[in-house]
Amino acid sequence: MSLFAIISPPIAAQFGVGDPDVRWQSLGTGNIHDTFLITSAHHVPFVLQRLNTRVFPQPAHIVDTHLKVYQHLAAQPDFPLRLPAPIATPSGDWLVQDATGGYWRALVFLENTYAVEQPETLEQAQQAAQAVGIFLNGLADLSPTEITPALPGFHDSVQRLQHFEKAVKENRAKRIASVQSEINFVKKEADVFYIIQSLPFPERLVHTDPKISNLLFDKNTRAPVAVLDWDTVMPGVLPGDFGDMVRTLAATAPEDEADLNKVDLNVELFTALVNGIIPPLRAVLTELEIQHLVTGARWIILEQMMRFLTDYLNGDVYYKIKYAKHNLIRARNQVKLYQAVQKQEVHLLNIILQSI
């Protein structure tokens, strides 16, 4: 019997569902938290999530961020997206601890929706990017000082570079001999981290993980209706969110595709991304941000490559893996994508400028 099967009834009961027939099923494909759909005969379905406190050591910050973002967006009368409302216990708590020390939260289940890992059509990609733009624009008038980052320094790539160098030096998993070319690649391209750090971008609230799998689509209209996973909504810069969308939405293959011949940048998807995200943000984007959106793509792709490689060198202690070289495959995949963006950087910037 699984741990969840043992502890879920009392946790569900704390959120007001004490039915003996309460049922649960795994939900989503996230790499961090354990997420379940809870159903019973007498209550509407809801989402129950066990937070990963190894990754997020301050779970209260996650819950507080979600609540503030929800309240801010829900107060906008014309906000067009559905919102995953947090659910409190009958006693008013947003966070519950189980007998093992684990922390749980509950969210409204957005019914009649589905998620995708990769865009199915150019239209879907453009609509997904537009939804992210709408979400970010909705946060434009919420002060970054209102949010306590759940992961301070999440996109401090210079600091992450130091962690990477430490992982190389320590070589905990004794894997360094097989990844020397990848190590050299990081060292060769790391200047982009210092470029981003030096530019005076305006600080904004950003999503930080706006991949297409963090969106929900309506089963009938096939249109995006919600942006999920607000755990890392925090002060940051818009080129970072744009870069992560390029990384996850405009690539020709998923980030763990092992056949590197399949990994490239799809310029049509990139154009759809630009045509989707720019219009909702046009009123707030600065010239500096516009000129460095593609730089943001190189930045985030290289940072993610470095994070995968760091985890591989440390013995796979952060990301969930399905096989021994999963993180190494991910890192090599991101090298190929980075090179594809770098090769077409001028052309990609022209696509952006033509959309303004």
Report pLDDT digits (tens) over 156-201.
999 999 999 999 999 999 999 999 999 999 999 999 999 999 999 9
Residue pair 244/209 in contact by the 8 Å Cβ criterion: yes
Of 122, 135, 80, 84, nearest to 106 by C-alpha is 84
Look at residue 291 in the predicted model and tell me its pLDDT: 98
Q: Which of 17-26, 70-79, 200-209 has the lowest mean pLDDT?
A: 17-26
Question: Residue 180 half-sphere exposure, CB side, CA atoms within 13 Å?
Answer: 2
The tens digit of pLDDT for each residue in 222-231 reads: 999 999 999 9
**Amino acid present at 23:** R
State the greatest distance between any 2 C-alpha atoms of the chain, in Å, as a whole number.
Answer: 61
pLDDT in tens, 118-140: 899 999 999 999 999 999 999 99
- The per-residue b/e assignment along 207-223, b for 16 or more CB within 10 angstroms, e otherwise, is bbbbbbbbbbbeeeeee
Residue 264 has pLDDT above 70, yes or no: yes
Identify how many contiguous H helices and E strands the chain contains and give both numbers.
12, 11
Most trustworthy range by pLDDT among 12-26, 50-64, 154-168: 154-168
* pLDDT (0 to 100) of residue 21: 73
* 267, 343 contact by CB (below 8 A): no
Among candidates 246, 255, 262, which has minimal Cα distance to 352?
Answer: 246
348 vs 343: CA distance, rounded Å: 10
- Hey, what amino acid is at 351? I
- For 163, the token pair is 């962690």
The answer on pLDDT for 18 being more than 90 is: no
**Predicted confidence band of residue 14 (pLDDT cuts 50, 70, 90):** confident
Cβ neighbours of residue 24 under 8 Å, at least 6 residues apart? 4, 5, 8, 12, 36, 37, 38, 39, 48
Q: How much is the pLDDT for 294?
A: 98
Contacts of 267 (CB under 8 A, 6+ apart): 250, 344, 347, 348, 351
Q: What CA–CA distance (Å, rounded) separates 212 from 118?
A: 7
**b/e burial code for range 167-204 (CB count within 10 A of at least 16 → b):** bbeeeeeebbeebeebbebbeebbebbeebeeeebeeb
Residue 2 has pLDDT above 50, yes or no: no
Percent of the chain exceeding pLDDT 90 equals 81
Residue 312 CB contacts under 8 Å (≥ 6 apart), including other chains:
173, 175, 179, 325, 327, 328, 331
pLDDT at position 20 over 80: no
- Six token digits for residue 194: 């210092």
Of 39 and 134, more confident: 134
Q: pLDDT grade, residue 8 (50/70/90)?
A: low
Q: Return phi, psi of residue 347, to 5°.
A: -60, -40
pLDDT band at 29 (very low <50, low <70, confident <90, very high): low
Task: Write down the pLDDT at residue 325.
Answer: 97
DSSP, collapsed to helix, strand or coil, labels residue 48 as strand
DSSP reduced 3-state for 231: coil
Express each pLDDT in 100-120 by its tens digit.
Answer: 899 999 999 999 999 998 899
Tell me the β-bridge partners of 40. Answer: 43
Please tell me the predicted confidence (pLDDT) of residue 30: 66
Report residue 54's pLDDT band, with 50, 70 and 90 as the boundaries: confident
Q: β-strand 34-40 against 86-87: which pairing, if any?
A: unpaired
For the chain, list the domains and their CATH numbers. 3-110 (3.30.200.20), 122-355 (3.90.1200.10)
Rounded to the nearest integer, the mean pLDDT of the chain is: 93
